[in-house]
Structure 1
Amino acid sequence: MGTSVTISTATDDDGEQILKLQYLCYQAEAALYDDYGIEPLTQTLDSLRAELAEGCVMVARLGREVVGSVRGTVDADGTAKIGKLIVHPRLQRHGLGGRLLAAVERRLAEERSAKRYRLFTGHRSEGNLRLYRNHGYAPVGTEQLTHRLSLVTLEKEPSAAP
């Protein structure tokens, strides 16, 4: 291939690629919880474009192809909410998720004065939980949404390095 993966800020032009990648990446989560109605699989392009305009969205590119993405916002009390961290299945387990996570954290701290980071994942999503713990996140709560799904909320302070 010869092309390395770069991480940059997403543009409105990336919307369709991000949405298609999101649909691909969340298939495993949907299967794990036997729920194909989860928001990442039903999100519209207009909704994603609104997130691009309002939030902090980073993408990983291999050439011109978007192969990863992550989104974040910061609320009034300085809590950065990070979500929809995705990496193309063929590029998983090579550190790209961690690079995207670090990039969005850095940008949220520098540009939006984040004081802490918060994210969530399903209780059965062991790979996600492992990644977040390896990057300094600690569980702070669990909320049962359905009989099949509990969401684990994890947080870290900006100074918490892995």
Structure 2
Amino acid sequence: MMEIIRASREDAEQLLALQKLCFRNEAERLNNFDIPPMLQTLPEIIEEFNSHFFLKSVEDGAIIGSVRAYEADGNCYIGKLIVHPESQNKGIGAALMKQIEQAFSHVKRYELFTGADSGKTIHLYNKLGYRSYSIKQINDQLSFVYMEKLNKS
């Protein structure tokens, strides 16, 4: 049975390994392994626990998904939604997103970004009520789409 619970620093090594596995396809597609999720180090992710709230999805004792967020100026900034490739398309990403929104239910809005050509990810975020409000060109191969969702609660 899958459960979503708060992650801790002790999970950092597993989270980082899962992050690199999940972003590997993106890096290969871009032919660029110098993207931030691939470059993050163990000390950096451990440090991130000081400012971010991490959730993990656990099944049979293994971490199969995660998302992290922080609050600033009444907004919740969500990042690095990851689900193990073998566990994708089973609702885990959507469940993680709903849980992180609940954890920040007092904010005015939620914001995130993803690769502009990450169709499946953008579809998921649209399904969850996120709307694109900006596209930022990073380089010749990479653009980010910034998305937001107003909190109606």
Matched length: 153
The within-5 A match list for 1:31-110 is 31-75=28-72, 77-109=73-105
Of residues 5, 21, 26 in structure 1, which corresponds to 2:2?
5
The one-letter amino acid of 2:20's match is Y
Contact residue 32 and residue 124 of structure 1 kept, 8 A: no
Aligned equivalents of 2:86, 2:145: Cα separation in 1: 26
Question: What TM-score, normalized to structure 1?
Answer: 0.91
Deviation at 1:63, TM superposition (A): 2.2
Partner of 1:17: 14
Alignment of 1:117-156 (within 5 A): 117-156=110-149
- Residues 68-104 of structure 1, C-alpha deviation per residue, up to 9 Å, x if partnerless? 00010111x2111100000000000000000001111
Q: How far, CA to CA, are the matches of 2:83 and 2:99 in structure 1?
A: 14
Identity, % of aligned pairs?
36
Structure 2: stretches of 5+ with no match in the other structure: none
Distance, in Å, in 2 between the alignment partners of 1:53 and 1:125 is: 29
Q: What amino acid is the match of 1:12?
A: R
Deviations 1:137-162 (A, max 9, x none): 000000101011110000001228xx
Let me know the Cα RMSD of the aligned residues: 1.1
Report deviation, 1:32. 2.3
State how far apart, in whole Å, the 2-side matches of 1:143 and 1:82 are. 17
Gap runs ≥5 in structure 1:
none
Structure 1: 4+ residue segments shifted above 6 A: none
